[in-house]
Amino acid sequence: MFPDKPVKFYRYQKFSAMTVESLCHDHLYFSNPTAFNDPLDCQPSVESDSDRGTLRLLLAEIIRRRVETEVLSSLKGAKLKGMKVETHAKKMGDQAARNELDYIAYHATNPDNEGSVEDAESWLLINEIQSELHKQYDRGVCCFSSSVVNPLLWSHYADQHHGFCIGYDLDRDPEPKLHQVQYSDNRKVMTSLIVQAILKNEPKAQELLDTNVLLRKALPWGYEDEWRLLDKRGLQESVLALKDVTFGLRCKTAVMHTIITALESRDDVKFYEMYADRGSFKLKRRLVDMSEMLAYLPHTARSGIEIFGPINDD
């Protein structure tokens, strides 16, 4: 699908106990998109190209699915299951959908609304569909870049070069599915696409909807060359193959020693350090000289007497 798919993918990180633990356990952290730098990331704007009747059906189905899923999850957590539980969850979903549609129909008649009752109802339906769509996409996102030498990424995500960058490839069975982020000025999602994905259950429409919600960012973010893994939120076992760690220009030697020591049993992992190209702003990397580092770390503090012996009065 992507003939120019990168060979490696890089995750820029700050040094912390959590990142060390994640490296040791080969975990990846999948974030809630609402915590991203860009508040518009994964927040599409829904616009209508459907009639009011279709909008009502669409909103009702989205609410039914959400409420039914929430009720089933809650009851199963209480160790309740069976046909009665499923019937109850379906009933709650139907009731929630009816309540919302009645609420919208009532407020559409507010005399303070501009335009007709029909236009007001359509506007309220679209806004609620957008709100429900945001709730539906509660997946976690783990972000990578195709570049290890991007100075902006080092400054923005690797603690201004005090951190490091972890390199992965796809040499796993099965091969992981990374998704390429698309950059544009358009964050619209048309209701006709949502109808095809949700009411008609068309796989291609669902895939396109996923892309429009989870994989679109504004053009200025294009410098990131971003790829994403999608999974449950929180720490998950990595589906990628850890291949190398590259340390920033300002990364302390003790931090480098800590990371290298933590992964010393991983013979397949290489360690690099960044350096500045002489006479330009370009970044390059080279292998860490392990023998030089291990020769004086960890250091043991000693007094002058312990080093040179006691002072002789004579």
Q: Using one digit for the tens of pLDDT, what is the confidence trace for 74-98? A: 887 767 777 788 899 999 999 999 9
Helices 253-262, 17-25: axis angle to 10 degrees equals 30
- How many CB atoms are closer than 10 A to CB 289? 11
C-alpha distances in Å from residue 3, one per residue of 6, 7, 180, 240: 9, 11, 12, 19
* Percentage above 70 pLDDT, the chain: 98
Q: In the structure encoding, which two tokens stand for residue 305, read together?
A: 């007497």
The sign of the torsion formed by the CA atoms of 218, 221, 225, 231 equals negative
Cα separation, 161 vs 158, in Å, equals: 6
Task: Give the closest residue to 284 by CA, choosing from 273, 294, 292.
Answer: 273
- Report which secondary-structure segment, H or E, holds 11: strand 9-13
The β-bridge partners of 226 are 145
Altogether, the residues listed in the chain come to a count of 314
Residue 29, amino acid: Y
Q: Which of 2-11, 99-108, 229-238 is predicted with the least confidence, judged by mean pLDDT?
A: 2-11
Contact 10, 144 (CB under 8 A): yes
What's the mean pLDDT in 58-63?
Answer: 97
Residue with more model confidence, 84 or 181: 181
Give percent of the chain with pLDDT exceeding 90. Answer: 80
Task: List, in order, residues 6 or more apart from 199 with CB less than 8 Å away.
Answer: 57, 58, 61
Work out the average pLDDT over 106-132: 94
pLDDT at residue 1, rounded to an integer: 43
Domain boundaries, the chain: 9-38+144-184+196-296, 45-136
What average pLDDT is seen over the chain?
Answer: 92
| 216: nearest Cα among 253, 186, 252 | 186
**pTM, whole model, 2 decimals?**
0.84
Across 15-37, b (16+ Cβ under 10 Å) vs e yields beeebbebbeeebbebeebeeee
**Contacting residues for 281 by C-beta, under 8 A, at least 6 apart:** 151
Confidence of residue 308 (pLDDT cuts 50, 70, 90): confident
Instruction: Tell which phi-psi region holds residue 77, choosing left (phi > 0), alpha (psi between -120 and 50) or beta.
Output: alpha
pLDDT at 217: 95
pLDDT at residue number 85: 86
Report cis status (omega within 30 of 0) of the bond before 298. yes
Q: Would you say residue 150 has pLDDT above 50?
A: yes
